[in-house]
């Protein structure tokens, strides 16, 4: 087998051969370390029974490593220029399908039903374009698609926020949104020197395993996420201040105090100190007060 795509020399050779340049606006920072890619594939638990959805194959560095281990790989790439390139770099593989689409516009449930109706183990594995990491993950998590896990490279700070626990400076509404749907775990940090062109920030590989059901019972999911989001509106402010402001048209100060009393939560606390369980309790009494 020839040298992996994920080396500086092959990446340059492929880009030069096809007369291409990197588009910063599409988050094109390609991995040039095959060992890191093998680790991603390994940590993602990809086996010969796995059907992988890859987001943003670029010139195929990760796609190649995935295809060596997986049953099938469906790679969704927005940049039309790479579609021809991928036919060239991935020739010889029978288990790869490349789709020229914007992941944010793909109906994932329909995609999975149409492309992989028989698949028993669907996993998302990707080196994500950093400018849309959060929207991509929210789409994957909230769509209720039949997938086992999501193992993705992203900016280190964003991964830390997604995996953060209460009482840390990274903990916020993003941590709760992600951990409501998944168990999250930073599996490895990756220095910026492993990419070309080199980004300004270091990266981490985050693994999210879908939960069968959320870790807390929530009476109203929309209200739960609204309460969470408003509780972190201004991080340094107390829950009381943030929720008073956030719900000012819908609930009086007295009612809000009553909610805190019923939930047995000190209004002088900050959002960053509340567990998901406590947010769920707060939501229950907020709902009663709003009705």
Q: Rounded to the nearest whole angstrom, what is the least distance from the CB of residue 139 to ligand SAM in the complex?
A: 10
Q: Any contact of residue 201 with ligand SAM (CB under 6 A)?
A: no
Q: Any contact of residue 76 with ligand SAM (CB under 6 A)?
A: yes
Q: Rounded to the nearest whole angstrom, what is the least distance from the CB of residue 271 to ligand SAM in the complex?
A: 31
Residue nearest to ligand SAM (CB): 56
127 annotated ligand binder: yes
Reported residue count of the chain is 291
CA 84 – CA 80 distance, rounded (Å) = 8
Q: Rounded to the nearest whole angstrom, what is the least distance from the CB of residue 37 to ligand SAM in the complex?
A: 7
Q: Any contact of residue 271 with ligand SAM (CB under 6 A)?
A: no
How far, rounded to the nearest angstrom, does the alpha carbon of residue 68 sit from its chain's CA centroid?
Answer: 24
CA 205 – CA 152 distance, rounded (Å) = 5
Q: Any contact of residue 84 with ligand SAM (CB under 6 A)?
A: no
Q: Any contact of residue 74 with ligand SAM (CB under 6 A)?
A: no
Residues 19-48 that bind ligand SAM (CB under 6 A): 26-31
Q: Rounded to the nearest whole angstrom, what is the least distance from the CB of residue 201 to ligand SAM in the complex?
A: 12
CA 244 – CA 17 distance, rounded (Å) = 60
Number of residues that bind ligand SAM (CB under 6 A): 22
62 or 176, CB closer to ligand SAM? Answer: 62
Which member of 44, 62, 164, 190 binds ligand SAM (CB under 6 A)?
Answer: 62
Neighbours of 229 (CB within 10 A): 17
């Amino acid at each position: 087998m020839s040298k992996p795509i994920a080396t500086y020399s092959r990446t340059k050779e492929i880009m030069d051969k096809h007369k291409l340049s990197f588009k910063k606006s599409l988050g094109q920072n390609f991995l040039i370390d095959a060992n890191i890619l093998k680790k991603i594939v390994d940590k993602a638990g990809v086996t010969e029974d796995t059907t992988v959805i890859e987001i943003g194959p670029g010139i195929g560095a990760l796609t190649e490593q995935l295809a060596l281990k997986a049953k099938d790989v469906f790679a969704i790439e927005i940049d039309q220029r790479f579609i021809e390139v991928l036919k060239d770099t991935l020739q010889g593989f029978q288990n790869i399908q490349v789709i020229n689409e914007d992941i944010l516009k793909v109906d994932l449930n329909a995609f999975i039903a149409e492309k992989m109706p028989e698949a028993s183990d669907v996993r998302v594995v990707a080196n994500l374009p950093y400018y849309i990491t959060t929207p991509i993950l929210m789409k994957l998590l909230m769509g209720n698609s039949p997938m086992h896990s999501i193992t993705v490279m992203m900016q280190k700070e964003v991964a830390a926020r997604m995996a953060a626990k209460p009482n840390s400076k990274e903990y916020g509404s993003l941590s709760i949104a992600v951990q409501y749907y998944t168990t999250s775990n930073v599996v490895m940090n990756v220095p910026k020197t492993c990419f070309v062109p080199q980004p300004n920030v270091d990266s981490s590989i985050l693994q999210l395993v879908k939960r069968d059901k959320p870790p807390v019972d929530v009476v109203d999911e929309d209200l739960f996420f609204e309460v969470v989001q408003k509780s972190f509106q201004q991080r340094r402010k107390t829950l009381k201040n943030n929720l008073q402001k956030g719900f000012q048209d819908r609930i009086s100060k007295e009612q809000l105090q009553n909610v805190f009393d019923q939930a047995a939560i000190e209004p002088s606390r900050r959002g960053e100190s509340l567990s998901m369980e406590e947010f769920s309790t707060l939501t229950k009494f907020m709902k009663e007060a709003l009705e």
